[in-house]
Amino acid sequence: MKFNKAKCEILYVSQGKPKHKYSVGGEWIDSSPEEKDFRVLVDEKLNMIQQCALADQKASCILDCIKRSVTSRLREVAQ
């Protein structure tokens, strides 16, 4: 199995320390400000605010879809 250098990125999680450059096979590896692993988006500060914002956006879209599909929004239900 070959190592895919194009899919490789570095996520630095240390604060205040110098960031080292790494290479594989003579090619430099790019760094990334955030990475997704196991469907969780984490940034350099191990913060998941972006993940929460994406989940909130997705939930709002689903609620809007439900709202549009309901014909009546009356609080009283006829029996």
Rounded Cα distance, 18 and 20, in Å? 6
Helix (H) or strand (E) holding 43: strand 40-43
* Each residue's pLDDT tens digit, 27-59: 888 877 777 777 777 777 777 777 788 889 999
Q: What does the alpha-carbon distance between residue 31 and residue 41 come to, in Å, rounded to a whole number?
A: 15
Tell me the per-residue pLDDT of 57-78, one tens digit each, with 9 for 90 and over: 999 999 998 888 877 667 776 6
pTM, whole model, 2 decimals?
A: 0.45
